Structure 1
Amino acid sequence: MAFGFDDVAERARQMATRAYAPVAVKLPDELKNLDYDQYRDIRFNPQKSLWRRENLPFELAFFHLGKFQTQPVSINEIAPDGRVNHVAFDRADFDYGKNKLTQKGWGDLGFAGFRVHYALNNPAYKDELVVFLGASYLRALGKGQHYGMSARGLGIDTVGGSGEEFPRFSEFWIERPAPQATTLVIHALLDSPRATGAYRFTLRPGDDKNPDTAIDVQARLFLRAGVATLGLTPLTSMFAHGENQPKAGDFRPEVHDSDGLMIATGDGKGGGEWLWRPLVNPNRTLVTSFSMAELKGFGLMQRDRAYTSYEDTEAQYEHRPSVWITPQGKWGPGRVELLQLHTPDETDDNVVAYWVPDSVPAPNQPIDFAYRMQWQGERQQRPPAGWTVQTRRGHGFVDRHKALDPREVQYVVDFDGPALRALPADAVVKAVVTAGSNAQIVERNAYRNPATGTWRMTVRVNRLQPAQPAELRAFLQTGDNALTETWTTIIQPE
């Protein structure tokens, strides 16, 4: 019988009954002591890619250990007859550049991780499609996209507890694809002090008909001990500044891999509610959450796809992917949690979003869940009726003879979508705005923007206690019909 998901799950189950055994790092000093540039000078020889000789549609290339990447992962190939073949490290597969390394006693070091190549954009060239590197991190690309945000297999105590724990994929089994295959299956074993798990990733690269790259994930977890926060399907991104939070002195209007968190719930009438939370670069750690009885999907999205919004010819943030998570089956009640940290620039990821189930089985009892992860570009998941186009904060002309209340904040939010475009010219649209206990609504307006055909909402509120956060929620409505998703934001404390 072919090796598969159940075999990995059985290993995870057995591991969960034993105490965690930390990985003994046996990396040679000459690799541990490499500086950043020296490590980057080590490159895998693409001619040595796994399956290149067979001219298969997918190929695997590998990352060398060194510098920060000190914990080896074991990589195996599952042959068509079901046999498992270990992929051994061979230093002859790498170009070490200008490094002068003795390479004495290295043996089979293992790998730091691997990347999958596939002819995504051009049939004559195999692009990077997916990368697994570090802890349980992975990144993927759809057609025409550039690397941006990352996903993880699992998050433990990202918020709460005594500190975040980063489970890692310690071993992989990759099924050799058929000559005409359009999917690739990867199995992974996850391990950490408080959890083990088995994962099955089925990669479906984007094509001309559907440019998204989709990854179907089947997972089974076992806890060794209790956790404060179990974060399923964590997404990690970066937001430095944007239209809602411009940065003085930077010629680029916006710098971010994602500009908002979108959530589809199964709660309420009409199949549920759609929520949009614009991301911010907070002045202090900001944790918010959205509880619901049923989750239909969530994602960190890069909605703004215009080059003129970024003006960065190198980073090209307009090509960074959005990632949308769709549960397969019902996950039950829980919450989407959003953690935002302050970052001085774009070099650090400072945004994490994940699903936290209300109930978690006892240690050693399985937790089964499945989901689809879609890496999207121009064609991305949106609410069916209407959505937020942009969020801006601030005032326009203020009569200098009238004192502006220092507690006042104004938001200008633009909406678009088929429900709005279908409105007659004389349609009456109102902004439905609610505020938390720390905010008082001063004024709200909604009107068609004649320059773009979109609809604009302006909201003025007073913060009752500026040192405390204040929450706003708003959507556009005509009659009893909601026209848009619910836009929601947190006014940060001062």
Structure 2
Amino acid sequence: MLNRRSFMAAAGTSLGLTALGLPVQSLADAGLKLGKPEGFSFDSLIEQAKELARKPYHQENKLPKDVLERIDYDQHGKIIFNTDNALFKDGPGEFPVTFFHLGRYFQIPVHTHVLEKSGDEWAAKEIVYDPDYFSMPKDSPARELPKGAGFAGFRFQESRFGDQKKLDWHKNDWVAFLGASYFRAIGELYQYGLSARGIAMDVAMPNAAEEFPTFTHFYFEPPSAFANDHQVTVYALLEGPGITGAFKFIMQRTNKVLMDIDSHVFLRRDVGRLGFAPLTSMYWFSESVKQTAIDWRPEVHDSDGLALWTGNGEHIWRPLVNPPHTSASAFSDKAPRGFGLLQRDRNFDHYLDGVNYERRPSLWVEPVGDWGEGAVQLIEIPTDDEIHDNVVAFWVPSAPAQKGNAYHFQYKLHWSADEPYPTTLGRCVATRLGRGGQPGQPRPQGVRKFMVEFSGGPLKDIPFGVKPEVVLWSSSGHFSYVFAEAVPDGVPGHWRAQFDFTSDSPQPVDMRLYLKNGDQTLTETWLYQYHPF
């Protein structure tokens, strides 16, 4: 389980003008030191990853661990990158790049390179680490690191030209790559939250330790000096003991963040659970299940559910849970249309916290091309605090992941307030649990009452006096007191399904529910995993 808290002027000249024969400002003159040029192309990066996969894993010489350990949380907070040294601070393009420093919690160095074009060919020059890029105390242990140590990661700052909120690029960023293969972005609500990563390997496997491969090299492609597409392109080399890979990220910043990802990965070993387009989030508790007085806030989570749009067109909503033990759920599919971890609840009063949980982005994976057969898998890990990322979702192909296998997956990531292709049916807006039975009567043991709320879509057009039919299924146990009713709040199309559930074993129970009227399906499908207690 991951700890999530210890995780140039508009008229300026640019590298991108080289091929046009116009003046170029040297990055060295701007404060950055560069290495010697080496040829580069995405195809050659793919070949490099493929060749590395044929060889045993070799980690580069480690940096002095005692020095890194002394750069703790407090020391790391005092090391600030000087934006006068930002890559592309005078262009080309809108978005300067700044860098994260190494430390106790980010000990594996990454090497960053800027691309220069000469004719039709690209050349990569490494950006050589120098402590002078950063403001830090004179006695900071970071000054003891060797020359060229590398960086921990990087981020793209907001536009040099400002946006509709006139954000100062020196103080605001919109995408960050930091730690292993993790990266994250903000949505249109201007808030970070959950993360994505390049690959997931053996998450929550009983007989294997999870592996966290690392993006070891990044390559920044200078934007065209005349482009107005609000986008940047970055290439990355991935490597770990069991895997290698080459990635291309085309990232666009408008009112949300859209990423086009082209990934090629190669296995050095068999992998029990190989997850593509993995999403990582935090869910502690919500209105569904909350222990008495566990915390003063009504809800604490970065995401409240997993949304699925299946290959056959079904829209599914699976509320997240904080299980008593690590749980893995698989949703089999063929050629999925999309999936994502969403934050649907946008009401501040449901969180009452200044860390803006109500503004955390939703993250949607849109496959490009046919992904074939497999399953979206959801891993939920118990937690008793908000500092841990305890939820992971990803796509797992149906064929075994064996040594020597090669994979090519393309997809889009939508960092936004909502999923990009929402259903036209009624959407699930709340899941509430309570004691079963009827008011004024003894409450039976082992019986749980469920209230599942839906809103919108054809629910708004149900004739007066007509009640939807509740369609229910469970993997075990039985239902009673099943009916639907309009929520008495005066909001058209706001309905809830109510039922009591009696379990007949202590094992987790999978449930399925939707509302219909005759032959008409009224809502998306609600799935839930209930842990009897």
Counterparts of 2:62 and 2:328 in 1: how far apart (Å)?
35
State the shift of 1:36 in Å.
1.6
Counterparts of 1:11 and 1:379 in 2: how far apart (Å)?
36
Q: Does 1:315 align with 2:355?
A: yes
Aligned ranges for residues 87-486 of structure 1 at < 5 Å?
87-97=127-137, 99-101=139-141, 103-104=143-144, 106-119=146-159, 122-123=165-166, 125-126=168-169, 127-160=172-205, 161-179=207-225, 180-181=227-228, 182-206=230-254, 211-249=255-293, 250-267=295-312, 272-312=313-353, 314-360=354-400, 362-377=402-417, 381-395=421-435, 398-400=438-440, 402-436=441-475, 438-451=476-489, 452-453=491-492, 454-465=494-505, 467-486=506-525
1:19 aligned to which of 53, 56, 62: 56
State the shift of 1:288 in Å.
1.3
- Residues 1:464 and 1:178: Cα distance change in structure 2 (over 3 Å): same
1:43 aligned to which of 80, 93, 117: 80
Q: Does structure 1 retain, via aligned residues, the 8 Å contact 2:246–2:264?
A: yes
Once the two structures are superposed, residues 109-160 of structure 1 have per-residue CA deviations (whole angstroms, 9 ceiling, x without a partner) of 1101000112355345223111000000000012223111000100111132
Counterparts of 2:245 and 2:466 in 1: how far apart (Å)?
54
Q: Which residue type is aligned with residue 139 of structure 1? A: R
Secondary structure of the residue aligned to 2:321 is: coil
Q: Which residue type is aligned with residue 445 of structure 1? A: F
- Residues 1:191 and 1:55: Cα distance change in structure 2 (over 3 Å): closer
Q: Does structure 2 retain, via aligned residues, the 8 Å contact 1:433–1:472?
A: yes
Counterparts of 1:39 and 1:30 in 2: how far apart (Å)?
12
State the shift of 1:361 in Å.
6.3
Counterparts of 1:32 and 1:462 in 2: how far apart (Å)?
52
Q: Does structure 2 retain, via aligned residues, the 8 Å contact 1:121–1:144?
A: no
Secondary structure of the residue aligned to 2:158 is: strand
Gaps of 5+ in 1: none
- Residues 1:243 and 1:7: Cα distance change in structure 2 (over 3 Å): same
Q: Does structure 2 retain, via aligned residues, the 8 Å contact 1:305–1:378?
A: no
Once the two structures are superposed, residues 444-468 of structure 1 have per-residue CA deviations (whole angstroms, 9 ceiling, x without a partner) of 1112223133011102111011x21
Once the two structures are superposed, residues 262-298 of structure 1 have per-residue CA deviations (whole angstroms, 9 ceiling, x without a partner) of 111113xxxx211111111112212211112231111
State the shift of 1:491 in Å.
1.2
State the shift of 1:365 in Å.
4.0
Counterparts of 1:86 and 1:379 in 2: how far apart (Å)?
38
State the shift of 1:442 in Å.
1.2
Q: Does structure 2 retain, via aligned residues, the 8 Å contact 1:234–1:352?
A: yes
Q: Which residue type is aligned with residue 219 of structure 1? A: S
Counterparts of 1:253 and 1:27 in 2: how far apart (Å)?
44
Work out the number of aligned pairs and report it: 482
State the shift of 1:25 in Å.
1.2
- Residues 1:121 and 1:357: Cα distance change in structure 2 (over 3 Å): farther
TM-score, with structure 1 as normaliser: 0.93
Q: Does structure 1 retain, via aligned residues, the 8 Å contact 2:271–2:402?
A: no
2:99 aligned to which of 62, 65, 77: 62
Q: Does structure 2 retain, via aligned residues, the 8 Å contact 1:342–1:350?
A: yes
Q: Does structure 1 retain, via aligned residues, the 8 Å contact 2:213–2:243?
A: yes
- Residues 1:101 and 1:231: Cα distance change in structure 2 (over 3 Å): closer
State the shift of 1:381 in Å.
4.3
Secondary structure of the residue aligned to 2:45 is: helix
State the shift of 1:204 in Å.
0.8
Once the two structures are superposed, residues 324-376 of structure 1 have per-residue CA deviations (whole angstroms, 9 ceiling, x without a partner) of 00100010111111111111111111111111100256533421110000001
Secondary structure of the residue aligned to 1:122 is: coil
For residue 75 of structure 1, what is the aligned residue in structure 2?
A: 112
